[in-house]
Amino acid sequence: VVAFATFVCFVASRSHEAYTALAVMEVVITLLFFLLYLLKLDKKMKWLFWPLADIFNSVIAAVFLLVVCLFAIIIKTNNGTLVGGVFGLVLLVLCIADAVVLFRKISLGGPRGRNCPTR
């Protein structure tokens, strides 16, 4: 939702294309990961460790969001760009929180399933 709000602010303010492209990329990637986990496709496609891919996505998105949103706030062509930059920084914090929570939840040495029988 925050990524979509960032996208809407950047589009409405007619800001630089890089701002809009980053926001739309984050919306699409987030929706794809949401559908992946919702439809339980991560269980069917076991050739990739999806939580680790989600962590990498969050970290890379956080780095790009830091650069682009700081530029948007510093340059602040208009109020829409400023608000989009602020929403982008909120999204940056959420990406970092997502990466930290996922990193704490994954176990690289243990079983991957949630409902593993304990013996």
pLDDT by residue (tens digit) across 29-60? 888 888 887 888 777 777 777 777 778 888 88
Domain boundaries, the chain: 1-40, 45-109
Percent of the chain residues topping a pLDDT of 70? 89
pLDDT at 67: 85
* 98 confidence band (pLDDT: 50, 70, 90): confident
What pLDDT sits at residue 26? Answer: 83
CA distances from 56 to 29, 51, 65, 86, 103 (A): 12, 9, 14, 23, 10
**CB under 8 A, 24+ apart: contacts of 1-8:** 2/87, 2/90, 2/91, 2/94, 3/27, 3/30, 3/91, 5/87, 6/84, 6/87, 6/88, 6/91, 7/84
Q: Is the pTM of this model over 0.85?
A: no
